[in-house]
Amino acid sequence: MLDAEDCQTMAEVRAGVDAVDRELVQLLKRRFDYMDAAARIKPERDQVRDEPRKAQVIANVRRHAAEAGIPEQPVAELWDRLIEASIAYEFEKFDRIRA
């Protein structure tokens, strides 16, 4: 995969984006594996949603985005959706484990 600055054609750009997307999906899988662990470890269902932790994660991501030189707000919005999807997934996993 070429670095973005080395791309000369849109085909190369698209190939690079597709490669990054594959990597992101693998990273998301790892993140959801941690949701599996959280569902297994948390003793009570009401512990699945943790608003202070959500705020902390989004603040961390905003800081990382700023450090990387990418727009903080869209990244924070993506993470808000990711966290909500993770919480829904963890609730489902929590309930399946204890069914």
Query: Known binding site for substrate: residues?
Result: 14, 31, 42, 90
From the annotation, which residues make up the binding site?
A: 14, 31, 42, 90
Buried b (16+ CB within 10 A) or exposed e, 34-54: ebeebbeeeeeeeebeeeeeb
Please give the full DSSP string across 30-72, using - where no structure is assigned.
HHHHHHHHHHHH-SSGGGS--HHHHHHHHHHHHHHHHHHTS-H
